[in-house]
Structure 1
Amino acid sequence: MKVKALSRSKASTERECVGDLRKQQRNLDPVYHPMQRSREMARAVTSAKMERMFAKPLVGNFGNGHMDAVYHTAISRKSLLPLLSGSADGKVSLWDLPTRTCVSTLNAHSQAVTGLTFGIDQDFYSCSKDGTVRRFSIPEVLAGNGNAGTESNLNGGFVNTWRINGSFQSIDHQWNSERQFVTASDSAVQLWTPERSTPIQSHGDLWGSADTVNVVRFHPSEPQLIANCSMDRGIGLHDLRTASAMKKTVLRMRSNDLQWNPMEPLNFVVGNEDHNAYTFDMRKLSQPTHIYKGHMNAVMSVSWAPTGREFCTGSYDRTFARKRFAFLYGTYQESEDDSKQKKVVVEAIYEPPQEPDSDAAEGFEQLEDPLEDKVEEIAKLLGLENVGWIFGHPPREDGLVFTAAEIIMAAELQLEAAGGIEETPFVTIKVVKGKDGTVGVEAFQVSQQCMAMAAEEALEIGTDLGVCKVNETFSAIQEGKESKTIDNNFFLTVVPIVQHTSEVFVSQFPRVNRDLDDRMPSKDELKRQLSKSGTSGWNFIDLLSDFNLLIYLTEYLDITADYPKICQSVTDRTIPLDDGYKIIITSMAGIDGAY
């Protein structure tokens, strides 16, 4: 008997260097990776989202950024060139805006930076949770020197330090020629000058409350007037001349930021935890002058444009600041297995006119659509029909898959597609960004029982989003007992998603009715798309086979006389498009020469 020992070289298992990654053995058998298709789908959607994030109107990023989260930024009131940013690791970076390069990075604090502001002497101040305020000279920062003294961890440019027992929450410098700055600490507001190591004023009992003041701002034209926001949900004005509180109003939730209007100093805006922004007139704090809605989470920062006519807001809702929906157009095809079930093949997406409405149960309001008949006619000529709808929403609490409003809307659309309480492949797709930043795409159908109850108007929207309320004239039996509510998940059936690449249609032209995009349907976009003809394997009819482009062309071509011939060439490539239509369409796009 011959015995042969198996041997394996060390090179196949060991790393050449300590810094090399360890080799991982993988079994590529699809049996052991049942979620591979859905995982690749999630990666593809995430990649598409990232591509949109780094498209216009994003101009560019600043160098390599920070190693930790950026908590605060500040720009100079006298110059548009410098920009400051402070991060959670206590570092402050000075940036050059035109070149978007980092001029200097300072180890300013040992804990997170909570505030930044520019002074009037080519200097800037930073405050932190470590209980320090530090002042830096910009010329010395650029030169890379300075009097660091015992602060050995600081880079060049350091001028002075102020300390308190506790932590700082906010800082601001006066707008005029006086060299004074104000800070908000755990339970007090302090007024400082660079010449003294202690505050010249300290107000620790504002309006009889010892709650933390989290935001403090100097008035642009009244140097002795400050506004502040506190953790007791208050917004108040304080007069430094008399060292007394003037006015205060209390909102339902805490305010996270406050900024004065630079052109109309009587007015200011605050960003609140209740997802809204409020503008106030300082002469009448009893009620806001305007309420700005639209965010789906707490408004963390606000900033005015230099004109004072508009402002921008930043919120925790990240990508999905708006809830939107669209209709899916495609075909029903027989399933390839023996189940005799039909599958939905989506070829195009159309977004009807809509507005975000936080007061509406659906989160949006569908507007009257002047293109509805034209869209349906184009879909019919292309051999497509409405096969489903898709919507996106911000992250929700765990377990809430559909709201009652979404269940009822899905049931009504399924009823319309089936022509009654009948079985239909009509599908509902939802897109959501999770709390970890990943984008998920899921497909569902509601049951025929849900369709029947929606047809009889037995389902209603209640205060609990996770359940459908049963109309008082109907009775619902669950587990042998009468129930006034039905869990939304009871109506849902999960539909598997398979990735599909259309062999006929493309989707490159900007979508109509999408006002939040930086690209809008126009002749320039038409020229951009059709100019690709003859490059990278594209031809004219390939680029014309775009559902949203065909919708845009209805402004110039007749839907009855022209579109039957165009759509026939799109769906059947053996039928050439008349040269006359090519000349008309290219001339509209401003393209000269061959097509």
Structure 2
Amino acid sequence: MKVKVISRSTDEFTRERSKDLQRVFRNYDPNLRPQEKAVEYVRALSAAKLDKIFARPFIGAMDGHIDAISCMAKNPNNLKGIFSGSMDGDIRLWDIASRRTVSQFLGHQGAVRGLTASTDGRVLVSCGTDCTVRLWNVPVATLKESYESSDNSVKVPLEVYVWKNAFWAVDHQLDGGYFATAGAQVDIWNHNRSQPVRSFEWGTDTVISVRFNPGEPNLLATSASDRSITLYDLRMSSPTRKLIMQTKTNSICWNPMEPMNFTAANEDSNCYSYDARKLDEARMVHKDHVSAVMDIDYSPTGREFVTGSYDRTVRIFQFNGGHSREIYHTQRMQRVFCVKFSCDASYIISGSDDTNLRLWKAKASEQMGVLLPRERKKHDYHEAVKNRYKHLPEVKRILRHRHLPLPIYKAAALRRTMTEAARMKEERRKAHSAPGSISTRPLRKRRIITEVE
């Protein structure tokens, strides 16, 4: 006699890692769930509130410099290495994971104004106000050693190139052997030559920043103290295009995913995104800072960029967003001179006037560490319902709210009052003038004085 029995696997009806919890099966037929949108709205509201509860962006400070930090550089060959240079000539290599100094490079007699690493990460190039360019060897194994064992010997530069003027910035080709320095002119250097292989000059003012294009190695953009933004091509004997704005641009950064676009950090507390093929107007104006924007750096994904400002804050912008999605500040942080995204887009490093490097999370409420599959699904679901209901007033108010320091709050309110007063004045002037006699330029074109071919 044969008896047939029903056989079921326990794994099909219990949750992972929890054999005592029954798995819940849901029928997603909308006819059986008439309150689906109401339930999801409550979940979106709860997810927005949880974001505020768990928003702890500050991870820690890397203390070691004894003067203001003026520049930083990422190591493209190592995920957790960051270089920093200070106003007293000290250059350090930091291990982000342990937040301590791995190596020191001593040799500059003045402020270090520019740092960059070669594509393979083995050569560090530094320049400063002592009119020298120094090349340093970066050992690959230093990040695995302890601070005591790696810092006993003084690092000697591989090469020292002495020039006739001070330097303000340096940048290395992403794919190539050249690097460019900015000062009284733009000089193109080779690792094996003590003299520049080429020099560019357009005007007599000091060039204060230089950046190579990540997609086209022969194209670079510079900004100068005469309020100009200039594009150069190494394959041509003269500069390509020049743009003059109303205020000075302190730093430039190309979008790594859209290499034809770049964003300029300006002295008027705004950032301007341009298309290098059409410079007559800005693609986007990014507003929220209340003082000069000193530095800017794009995320490796190209979807966001981070800015550091003279108003003692760090802000994160969407590449196509007019206002910042996040603002970071501490009570002791002073004027921010340099900011960088980590190579995995998970962290932000800022260097300020108070001699500290600070490490932040790119997403303030992100859970650190290894996530279980169930936890990851929960986070993804929370993000989905927040994006679905972010336009509703209550969810939007919670997601947008940020606590600001009192000086920044007052300065932002004053800027809004001034902007509104200028707008009303312009409207009244147009209303009491002959039709068509006064033309209003849009904000994307208003900051540009002229474009020089």
TM-score bracket for the superposition, by shorter chain length: 0.5 to 0.7
Whichever of the two has the greater Rg, that structure is 1
Q: Distance in 2 between matches of 1:368 and 1:141?
A: 52
Is 1:182 the equivalent of 2:196?
Answer: no
Q: CA deviation at 1:395?
A: 9.1
Q: CA deviation at 1:244?
A: 1.3
The answer to whether the 8 A contact 2:124-2:138 is kept is yes
Aligned to 1:418: none
Aligned to 1:358: none
The answer to whether the 8 A contact 2:307-2:314 is kept is no
Please give the root-mean-square deviation of Cα atoms over the aligned residues, in Å: 3.2
Q: Distance in 1 between matches of 2:393 and 2:186?
A: 54
Q: Distance in 2 between matches of 1:211 and 1:403?
A: 33
Range 90-99 or range 77-86, more displaced: 77-86
Matches within 5 A, 1:111-126: 111-121=110-120, 122-126=122-126
Query: 1:179-216 CA distances to partner (integer Å, 9 max, x unpaired)?
Result: 1111011x21100101111000012x31xx11111111
Aligned to 2:284: 290
Q: Distance in 2 between matches of 1:405 and 1:227?
A: 32
Q: CA deviation at 1:255?
A: 0.4
Q: Structure 1: which 5+ runs fail to align?
A: 1-54, 144-153, 323-366, 372-389, 407-460, 464-595
Aligned to 1:68: 67
Aligned to 2:217: 223
Query: 1:346-398 CA distances to partner (integer Å, 9 max, x unpaired)?
Result: xxxxxxxxxxxxxxxxxxxxx99769xxxxxxxxxxxxxxxxxx99343989x
Q: CA deviation at 1:403?
A: 6.4
Distance 1:58 1:286, change over 3 A: same
Query: 1:442-486 CA distances to partner (integer Å, 9 max, x unpaired)?
Result: xxxxxxxxxxxxxxxxxxx967xxxxxxxxxxxxxxxxxxxxxxx
Distance 1:88 1:141, change over 3 A: farther
Matches within 5 A, 1:5-84: 56-62=56-62, 64-84=63-83
Which residue among 289, 295, 303 is the counterpart of 1:301?
A: 295
SS of the residue 1:394 aligns to: helix
Matches within 5 A, 1:470-481: none
Aligned to 1:90: 89
Query: 1:548-588 CA distances to partner (integer Å, 9 max, x unpaired)?
Result: xxxxxxxxxxxxxxxxxxxxxxxxxxxxxxxxxxxxxxxxx
Q: Distance in 2 between matches of 1:118 and 1:370?
A: 47
The answer to whether the 8 A contact 2:308-2:314 is kept is no
Which residue among 268, 277, 281 is the counterpart of 1:274?
A: 268
- 1:199 counterpart letter in structure 2: P
Query: 1:132-187 CA distances to partner (integer Å, 9 max, x unpaired)?
Result: 110100118949xxxxxxxxxx93242001111120011001101x21111011x2
Q: CA deviation at 1:56?
A: 2.2
The answer to whether the 8 A contact 2:222-2:230 is kept is yes
Aligned to 1:130: 130
The answer to whether the 8 A contact 1:123-1:137 is kept is yes
Q: Distance in 2 between matches of 1:161 and 1:404?
A: 47
Q: CA deviation at 1:405?
A: 9.1
Q: Distance in 1 between matches of 2:115 and 2:415?
A: 45
Aligned to 2:167: 168
Q: Distance in 2 between matches of 1:403 and 1:312?
A: 24
TM-score w.r.t. length of structure 1: 0.43
- 1:184 counterpart letter in structure 2: A
- 2:193 counterpart letter in structure 1: R
Aligned to 1:139: 139
The answer to whether the 8 A contact 1:272-1:299 is kept is yes
Which residue among 228, 243, 251 is the counterpart of 2:245?
A: 251
Q: Distance in 2 between matches of 1:404 and 1:221?
A: 38
Q: Distance in 2 between matches of 1:101 and 1:137?
A: 19
The answer to whether the 8 A contact 1:175-1:223 is kept is yes
The answer to whether the 8 A contact 2:90-2:105 is kept is yes
Distance 1:102 1:219, change over 3 A: same
Distance 1:96 1:369, change over 3 A: closer
Is 1:198 the equivalent of 2:195?
Answer: yes
Matches within 5 A, 1:419-498: none
Aligned to 1:314: 308
Distance 1:290 1:142, change over 3 A: same
The answer to whether the 8 A contact 1:191-1:200 is kept is yes
SS of the residue 1:245 aligns to: coil
SS of the residue 2:158 aligns to: strand
Query: 1:76-132 CA distances to partner (integer Å, 9 max, x unpaired)?
Result: 233312110000100000111221110012223111110000113411111101111
Query: 1:393-444 CA distances to partner (integer Å, 9 max, x unpaired)?
Result: 43989xxxx96999xxxxxxxxxxxxxxxxxxxxxxxxxxxxxxxxxxxxxx
SS of the residue 1:59 aligns to: strand
Which residue among 402, 406, 428 is the counterpart of 1:392?
A: 406
Q: Distance in 2 between matches of 1:174 and 1:158?
A: 20
Distance 1:182 1:141, change over 3 A: farther
Distance 1:57 1:245, change over 3 A: same
Aligned to 2:353: none
Aligned to 1:455: none
- 2:94 counterpart letter in structure 1: W
Q: Distance in 1 between matches of 2:392 and 2:301?
A: 35
Q: Distance in 1 between matches of 2:288 and 2:168?
A: 27
**Identical pairs, percent:** 38
Instruction: Using CA pairs under 8 Å that are at least 6 residues apart, name the structure with larger relative contact order, 1 or 2.
Output: 2
Q: Distance in 1 between matches of 2:407 and 2:392?
A: 22
- 1:57 counterpart letter in structure 2: P
The answer to whether the 8 A contact 1:138-1:157 is kept is no
The answer to whether the 8 A contact 2:306-2:314 is kept is no
Structure with greater strand share of residues: 2
Q: Distance in 1 between matches of 2:227 and 2:306?
A: 22
Q: Structure 2: which 5+ runs fail to align?
A: 1-54, 144-152, 316-322, 324-390, 396-403, 423-453
The answer to whether the 8 A contact 1:84-1:94 is kept is yes
Distance 1:396 1:214, change over 3 A: farther
The answer to whether the 8 A contact 1:70-1:86 is kept is yes
Query: 1:300-358 CA distances to partner (integer Å, 9 max, x unpaired)?
Result: 11111110011111111115989xxxxxxxxxxxxxxxxxxxxxxxxxxxxxxxxxxxx
Q: Distance in 1 between matches of 2:89 and 2:71?
A: 11
